Amino acid sequence: MSTPATPLAGDFVSLLQRSQMALPRMELGGDGPAITQATTVFAFRFAEGILMAGDRRATAGNIIVTDAVEKVVEIDDSSLLAIAGVPATAFEMARVLQTSFEYYRRSQLQPLSLPAKVRALARLLRENMPLALQGVGIVVPLFAGVDHTVSPAQPRIYFYDPLGAQFQAVNYAASGSGSGTIRSILAFQERHGSPKPVEMTLPEAVRFALRLLMTAAEFDSATGGVNPEAQLFATLKILRATGVETVTEEQQSAALAGTDHD
């Protein structure tokens, strides 16, 4: 006479199934408010350093919430964070990084190393895992920082997945809903274009970045793009070994018009 199979020791889920019981399930209500999302951001290396850019649109479902979001945040004088995902979570991460980097600098009388900064952001993303797994707090950022362990010092680009895995990009990275288009153009320009992104001057890099956003906006409604006639520009910041510089709207307008700017 055969005996019923015994559940494996410790297999609680199997035991519940055999007892015709089910684990409780939590589901988000279908009529809940749409979550605000911020996209698109990217960074690439040019002749003078790294240009990090983001459009200024935030959406909630099919609703445009605003076209005035600053998605590239200066963490300290040698670090930039570009946010894609839920702004509330991302901006809180930026504030935590700003505070912790400054506390370390003041308490240790020296800045935090680039590897430590990269791991600090990875830790915040891992701590955000419960919200990310629920789909209500996903952040997929880009990070750029200056590596002072080499001579001369070099700015570097890093990208992450929502759970905190970190990767160093060689020459470019992108995140957000318009990132597919932007990565494709960057890859083509790097392999076949002239000048290549790493050979571009600052005016050329600014013009190229704005055109990338304009192209991405044509294929992705969540990307705000650039519209000089409506005074709608991007957030552009430059990271050099010597520090951070913001590209003003006047400089962006001059770059699109094909004139040099200071």
- Confidence at residue 26, expressed as pLDDT on a 0 to 100 scale: 46
Strand order across the beta sheet in which 58-60 lies: 36-38, 58-60, 63-66
Residues, the chain, total? 262
Q: Choose, from 3, 6, 39, 66, the residue flagged as catalytic.
A: 39
172/44 Cα distance (integer angstroms): 4
194/184 Cα distance (integer angstroms): 16
- Confidence at residue 212, expressed as pLDDT on a 0 to 100 scale: 96
Nearest Cα neighbor of 193 from 177, 180, 211 is 211
Give catalytic status of residue 39 as yes or no.
Answer: yes
CATH of domain 35-257: 3.60.20.10
CB 243, CB 237: distance < 8 Å: no
Q: What is the mean pLDDT of each run of 10 residues along the chain (262 residues)?
A: 49 59 50 63 97 92 86 96 92 96 95 96 93 83 95 95 93 94 96 96 96 94 85 94 95 84 49
- Confidence at residue 23, expressed as pLDDT on a 0 to 100 scale: 47
Nearest Cα neighbor of 57 from 205, 250, 217 is 217
- Confidence at residue 147, expressed as pLDDT on a 0 to 100 scale: 95
- Confidence at residue 230, expressed as pLDDT on a 0 to 100 scale: 80
- Confidence at residue 29, expressed as pLDDT on a 0 to 100 scale: 47
